[in-house]
Structures are given as C-alpha cells and as structure tokens.
Amino acid sequence: MSVHKEDKKKITTLQLKKMKQQGEKISVLTAYDYTTAKIIDEAGIDVIIVGDSASNTMIGNPTTLSITLDQMIYYTKAVVNGTKRALVIADMPFGTVSGNPLKSLDAAIRMMQETGADAIKIEGGAEIREDVKKIIDAGIPVMAHLGLMPQSINKYGTYAVRGKEEGEAKKLIEDCQLMEELGVFGILLEKIPADLAAQITQQISIPTIGIGAGAGTDGQVLVIQDVMGMNKDFSPKFLRRYADLYTVMTEAAQHYIDDVKTMNFPNKTESY
Ligand code: KIV
C-alpha cells in the first residue's frame, strides 16, 4: 500500500510543523545529484537533505570532515535542479558554523544564494547558539542536528549511540529546548535511544526527524545509497534496505561488458 501524497504543492517548513500537529509522519531521504533528486521527488518524498555524507557517498572520504562549502554548494545546486515538491535542506559542512556568527552567516548566505536550497542544517548545540541566532535573524530557516554528530568524530572517537548516559541525555534535551527557543524549524536526532527521542519529540513543538532514533520521532531519514542497497559494507542496526541496487547494477554492468566483448552491442537497430 502506498500512502504517499499525490499533492504536488511545494513543501514548506510551516507544513512540516502542521504535519507534526496532525500526526502525519515526515519522509526524508538524502540525495546529492539531479537524477536521484528527481526520482525521489516524483515518488513523493517530503524532504531531501543534501547531507555532508556526500563526503563519504560521493567522494569516498572516510569522514564528513573533508567536504568543503564549495563542494556542498555544487551537490546542493544539482539536487535543487531536480526537485519540484520536496523541501531541500543543505548541510553546512564542518568548520563553516563554529562560533564566529558573522563568518557563519556569510557561509549560510552563500549556501542559500548559490543553490536555491529552502533551508540549511547545522550540527551542534549551545556552543553555536549565537551563530544559529544570527543566521535565523537573517531569514534563513535552520534545522538543528543533535545526538550523534559525525562532524565531531575526532572529539568523541566513535560513532556509537549517544545520550545513553544521564548527563549526556540531559544536555541533549537542553540543546533541543534551546534550539527551539532560537527558532529552528526542526531537529534531526541521530543515533540516540528511542525512548529519549520520543520524550524530546513530545516536549517540543517543532518536528523531529530521526535516524537510528526509533519510531517516536515525527519523521525518518536515511541515506539514499543505504536505502537503495548500493553499499554492501554498511549495515547498522537502524538501516532497512528497500532495494538491492548493488546486485542490479553489478549484473547490468557485467551484461553490458559481455555484450561489448562478444560484439552483441550495438546491433543494427542501435546503429545509424
Ligand atoms: O549528512 C547526512 O547525510 C546527514 C543525514 C543524517 C541526513 O546528516
């Protein structure tokens, strides 16, 4: 059964809030290119995040730290070009929002102006409150990213579940409340206990989007390559694969190679 919407009207941040109020779950996927964005937009996805996971999935870097603002702008523009209905959120990469509000605002303005994205996503809590305030005051919609923050991998040294221990859970709840007060339109919660994510979701009036955060958030996000089964080496507990494109693409490539080698391609009808 498909419950996706036939409504072609552009999704707004206000609409995401209404979806939370009405109990309608928000569907989110990442994308980094025009073609994929067009496919998932036409399939009815509500939100597309151009994640800095592009550093891993598109460039093959071991962490998200190496992707630059210019590279994120390049991927985001491609996604915006392929999208009509979904809200497009661009990730601000490592180092662009880190305690210097004027510098952060410059980076956020570049991202919005040069890509046409609808909003940006920023990793971090109280440490970047002034940056977030400055950006929101300039009229740029912000989604906060809390819980596991991959840009802080060198600080924590692990991608393990966050917020399991009381002190960390308390700081996470406070950060979520602070971000709501500052005016973010939503919060992405990555890899935290399901009970904690559900508690936060009930306590705040803006939508939460979870990845590895259980069923109690207002929406769910996954990385497109993982959902489509393009990546055999990444199998976290929270991932559900909806296709096996690794096998489909490998077999198609092998078939093509065989046809070229045996001169079965191109045939007469495929020639001028
Ligand atoms: O970079 C990314 O892909 C993310 C996802 C969790 C949306 O932040």
- The architecture that CATH gives domain 13-241 is Alpha-Beta Barrel (3.20)
State pTM to two decimals.
0.97
- Cα–chain center distance at 204: 21
In sequence order, the β-bridge partners of residue 145 are 123, 188
Q: What is the DSSP letter of 8?
A: -
Pocket, ligand 1, Cβ cutoff 6 A: 30, 49, 51-53, 91, 145, 190, 211, 221, 223
Q: Is the per-residue pLDDT at 3 higher than 80?
A: no
Q: Of all atoms in ligand 1, which is nearest to the CA of residue 49?
A: 7
Summarize pLDDT for 94-149 with one digit per residue, the tens: 999 999 999 999 999 999 999 999 999 999 999 999 999 999 999 999 999 999 99
Q: Is the per-residue pLDDT at 202 higher than 50?
A: yes
Residues 252, 191: Cα–Cα separation, whole Å = 35
What is 14-72 written as a DSSP string?
A: HHHHHHHHHTPPEEEEE--SHHHHHHHHHHT-SEEEE-TTHHHHTT--SSSTT--HHHH
Residues 6+ apart with CB under 8 A from 164: 193
Q: List active site positions.
A: 190
Summarize pLDDT for 242-267 with one digit per residue, the tens: 999 999 999 999 999 999 999 999 99
The response to whether 233 counts as a known ligand-binding position is no
Mean pLDDT is lowest, of 19-28, 155-164, 214-223, 255-264, for 155-164
Question: Domain boundaries in the chain?
Answer: 13-241, 245-272
Token couple for 73: 């702008």
